[in-house]
A = this chain, B = another copy of it.
Amino acid sequence: MADNKVYRASTTAPVNIAVVKYWGKRDPKLNLPTNSSISVTLSQADLRTLTTASCSASFDGDSLTLNGQASDISGARTQACFRELRARRAALEAADSSLPKLSTLPLKIVSENNFPTAAGLASSAAGFAALVRAIANLYELTDSPSELSLIARQGSGSACRSLFGGYVAWRMGDKADGTDSKADLISEASHWPNMRALILVVNAAKKDVPSTSGMQQTVATSGLFQQRISQVVPANMILMEEAIRKKDFPQFAEVTMRESNSFHACAADTYPPIFYMNDASRAAIRAVEAINAQAGKTIAAYTYDAGPNCVIYFLEEDEATVVGAFHRFLSGVSGWKASAAEAKSSVELPENIAGILKDGVGRVIQTGVGEGPEKTDEFLIAEDGQTVQR
């Protein structure tokens, strides 16, 4: 066919930060987890991936460009996503012969984050969610977000949760083929819209001692890990869903903090041990404890992913108290919103904690709960199939 038409679709997808943590795979090939998890989707105004998917007979094979860099697509994870999406498109084409045979055309994907990679935020969740959602849009698939999450999961486990906004669960499932290991919505962002997040981006460079091992080393060697997946997480899943449904911040906060502790404890119990947090990360924990103590109630919760950055959840009504406590001595770093300068906090953090954080925090990100992937008319690939230069 001499048709060199370029078909295009664009989407954005959000970052999510888990409050019940994913750590450990029972099937590394299919990205099937050892436990269920829950996350909060963060606002795309502050953190998002924009991805354009296109296909055309004129393209010279499949390609993927991330933040201006050609990316290797030969890996099993990316290939699994392409294969699954093409199979679904092919099924539509088989049922309706009037549809163009997009499933047979080379794919060209271009993707960009609106936040610096240097921030050390795991961008693979947003990246794979955007990739799957963009191709699904291109192929005009009718699959639900939950069905698409089965595909995104195979790209990056936590990506499955970025197909929804708000408060999202990834149910581990129990089938060997993984067809029941997918994300579903606990509550829309609008159910509890006043959830906020302050991210303290910690300078990892100089003080960092790199970890070479990952979650499968924990599964293989930690003597405490079985207790986490068989007892701790199932109990926390119930408590966290309840906290979200009831909008009970103290319960949400306690489970969030305990879950972060439990995950990092299992990392530290790995042999050899895995450490993601450094002295600045630990000072941020003491800061959150001090804020709650001085406030006389739990108004802030810390959580750490596989890195030193601290994500602090709080409610909009406590923004001045929480943000102001950090802005007081961190006003020199970038990332503050204009309102932060006016945030008057009754909390004064102990000098040693403030000192360690002043040394260790390189920038902040102020954001909050947000929506899931959104179709957009902003394209990173032009109508003629060329990558847009920006």
Cβ-closest chain B residue relative to A273: B261
Does residue A76 face the partner (Cβ distance < 8 Å to B)?
A: no
Choose one: B223, B258, B285, B353; the contact of A262 (CB below 8 Å).
Answer: B223
Q: Is A30's CB within 8 Å of the partner chain B? A: no
Copies in the complex: 2
Classify the secondary structure of A's interface with B: helix
Report the separation of the CA atoms of residues A353 and B273 in the bound assembly, to the nearest whole angstrom: 16
Assess A283 versus B223: contact at CB under 8 Å? Given A268-B261, A268-B264, A271-B257.
no
- Please report which residues of chain A, range 181-231, place their CB below 8 angstroms from some CB of chain B when the two chains form the complex: 206-209, 222-224, 226-228, 231
Interface centre among A226, A227, A283 (most CB of B within 10 A): A227
Closest residue of chain B to A230 (Cβ to Cβ) is B227
Number of interface residues of A (CB under 8 A): 38
- Which single member of B209, B231, B262, B283 contacts A269 (CB below 8 Å)? B262
The reply on A141 being an interface residue by CB < 8 A is no
Which of A231, A254, A264, A269 has the most C-beta atoms of chain B within 10 angstroms of its own C-beta? A269
Decide if B271 touches A265 in the complex (CB within 8 Å).
no
Cβ–Cβ < 8 Å partners of A228 in chain B = 223-224
CB of A90 within 8 A of chain B? no
Instruction: Tell me, yes or no, whether A163 is within 8 Å of chain B by CB.
Output: no
Which residue of the partner chain, among B231, B264, B273, B285, contacts A223 with CB atoms under 8 Å?
B231
Cβ–Cβ contact B271 & A268, under 8 A: no
Mask for A249-293, Cβ within 8 A of B = 1, else 0? Answer: 000001001100110111011111101001100110110010000
Q: Could you name 27 residue pairs across A and B whose Cβ atoms are closer than 8 Å?
A: A206-B352, A207-B356, A209-B282, A209-B352, A223-B228, A223-B231, A223-B235, A223-B258, A223-B262, A224-B228, A224-B262, A224-B269, A226-B227, A227-B227, A257-B271, A261-B268, A261-B273, A262-B269, A264-B268, A265-B266, A268-B268, A272-B285, A272-B289, A273-B285, A278-B279, A278-B282, A279-B279
What are the 3 tightest A-B residue pairs by CB atom distance, in nearest-first order?
A227-B227, A265-B269, A223-B232
B-binding residues in A (CB < 8 A): 206-209, 222-224, 226-228, 231-232, 235, 254, 257-258, 261-262, 264-266, 268-273, 275, 278-279, 282-283, 285-286, 289, 352-353, 356
